[in-house]
Structure 1
Amino acid sequence: MRRAVTNLFVNALTHGHTTDRPAEIRLGVTTGGVLAVDDAGPGIPPDLADSLFDRFHSGSGSTGLGPSVAFRVTQAHGGTLTATDSPLGGARFTLRLPTHDR
């Protein structure tokens, strides 16, 4: 899970800003097993929305592996990873893990 969270954070840091502004990133965690990474970048281009978690698919010239690895790690732990628009104006990646009663 450390790799998944790191990849989401680095992705937001790298792509979550416009050329004239530094990156603005918010990380939120709930006790219900939900982590959200928001950025103030340009958002997810509509033509990438369906293939965002595919390996080697990037609209920015990067390797496209960060979101893909995060997605697969999350699935391996029984969770989900989604991408939507962020209230900051860019992208929001929401990672949900199953919780277990103690």
Structure 2
Amino acid sequence: MSLRTEPAVVVVDPELLRRAVANLLHNALTHGHHPGQPAEVEITVTADGTVTIDDAGPGVPPEQAKSLFERFRSGAGSTGLGLSIAAWVAHAHNGSLTLTTSPRTGARFRTARQG
């Protein structure tokens, strides 16, 4: 795992932010690797408070991506709450959580402030 950060000041509930980032990191460590391989995860925090978590796993199938942030929706046998909570925290702080393909070939989850 690697971590790259820039100093950032954001006005958020620190416990909710911790929970959201922990959920995203847990998701990347659990699903962000190919079978038999260790997880390769990179976390980046930029000066504007954007948090990006990239993994080198198999990525997210397109048919799963549309419902991934819905409560109780999981393609991997979990409760399906972690990503929905992370998305809720982002939205509660006037932000967003998006899923795209990572340059590492896996999934990229990015929280960013709107406006």
User: Residue 90 of structure 1 corresponds to which residue in structure 2?
Assistant: 106
Q: Hey, what does 1:74 align to over in structure 2?
A: 90
From 54, 66, 74, the equivalent of 1:50 is: 66
Moved over 6 A (4+): none
| Corresponding position: 1:12 with 2:57 | no
Q: Which amino acid aligns with 2:63?
A: D
Aligned partners of 1:33 and 1:98 also within 8 Å: no
Match 2:76 to one of 34, 57, 60:
60
CA distance in 2, matches of 1:62, 1:96: 25
* Aligned positions of 1:13-52 closer than 5 A: 13-52=29-68
Q: What percentage of aligned pairs have identical amino acids?
A: 57
Residue 98 (structure 1) shift = 5.2
Question: C-alpha root-mean-square deviation of aligned residues, in Å?
Answer: 1.2
TM-score by length of 1: 0.92
Flag structure 1 segments of 5+ consecutive residues without an equivalent: none
- The secondary structure found in structure 1 opposite 2:110 is strand
| Residue type of the alignment partner of 2:20 | A
Amino acid at match of 2:40: E
Q: Secondary structure at the match of 2:66?
A: helix
Aligned length: 99
Task: Provide structure 2 residue ranges, at least 5 long, that are not aligned to the other structure.
Answer: 1-16
Q: C-alpha distance in 2, partners of 1:20/1:3?
A: 28
* TM-score after normalising by structure 2: 0.82
